[in-house]
């Protein structure tokens, strides 16, 4: 399926209205582009992935500020570049940033509307086979799957457990589910 400007615009509108599938579409469509951009800048897979997660977290949180006079991928790359610059400045000054209560209260709201196809698949899979698929994920993605599906934590509980903003928890979980779904699909073929 060709991804047109109209399709992207339509999915952005749906995401602004709270559509989980639209968020998934945007994340899956633009993840590689943002990740590769950061990998070239940082030359470190972990840093590139963390910055990409932060990019989508911030973009989804501020989606209502997006203007369609800009290409969506350009907007994401700009956010990503600014996040990387901020990280470099923080490292250079070696001053830990203080998160205010206001920042903590600004959470990225994506409705948790029950089981997704991945949720259903996870419950139906043979546990031993599922665990072998999960072990193919990077450790931090394994942790996300474990907390959500095996410990059955809510997003709020995961936020507290991981000591990360809600938006980062949601983006990491979206990414973990996507990667796991791809592993399961490739393992079944």
Indicate the CATH number for domain 101-188.
1.10.10.10
- Measured distance CA(95)–CA(109) in Å, rounded: 30
The mean predicted confidence, pLDDT, of the chain is 81
Cβ atoms within 10 Å, residue 112:
10
Checking if the pLDDT of 101 tops 60, the result is: no
Fold classification of 5-93 is Rna Polymerase Sigma Factor; Chain: A (1.10.1740)
- Least confident span in 30-44, 54-68, 102-116, 127-141: 102-116
Confidence bin at 116 (pLDDT 50/70/90): low
> What are the angstrom distances between the C-alpha of 144 and each of 7, 55, 59, 121?
30, 18, 21, 16
Kindly list the domain boundaries of the chain, sorted by start residue: 5-93, 101-188
100 burial level (CB within 10 Å; 0-12, 13-18, 19+): exposed
Q: Does 122 have pLDDT greater than 60? A: no
Hey, what are 34's tokens?
């943002």
Residue 22 · residue 50 · CB < 8 Å: no
Asked whether 21 and 14 are in contact (CB, 8 A), the reply is: yes
């Amino acid at each position: 399926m060709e991804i047109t400007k109209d399709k992207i615009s339509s999915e952005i509108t749906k995401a602004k209205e709270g559509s989980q599938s639209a968020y998934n579409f945007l994340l899956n469509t633009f993840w590689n582009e943002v990740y590769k951009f950061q990998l070239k800048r940082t030359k470190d897979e972990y840093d590139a992935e963390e910055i990409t997660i932060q990019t989508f977290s911030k973009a989804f949180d501020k989606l209502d500020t997006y203007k369609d006079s800009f290409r969506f991928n350009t907007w994401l790359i700009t956010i990503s570049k600014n996040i990387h610059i901020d990280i470099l400045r923080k490292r250079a000054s070696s001053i830990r940033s203080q998160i205010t209560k206001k920042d903590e209260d600004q959470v990225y709201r994506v409705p948790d509307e029950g089981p997704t196809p991945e949720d259903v698949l996870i419950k139906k899979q043979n546990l031993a086979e599922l665990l072998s698929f999960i072990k193919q994920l990077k450790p931090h993605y394994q942790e996300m799957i474990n907390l959500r599906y095996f410990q059955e934590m809510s997003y709020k509980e995961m936020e507290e457990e991981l000591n990360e903003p809600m938006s980062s928890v949601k983006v990491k979980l979206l990414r973990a589910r996507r990667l796991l779904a791809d592993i399961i699909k490739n393992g079944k073929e």
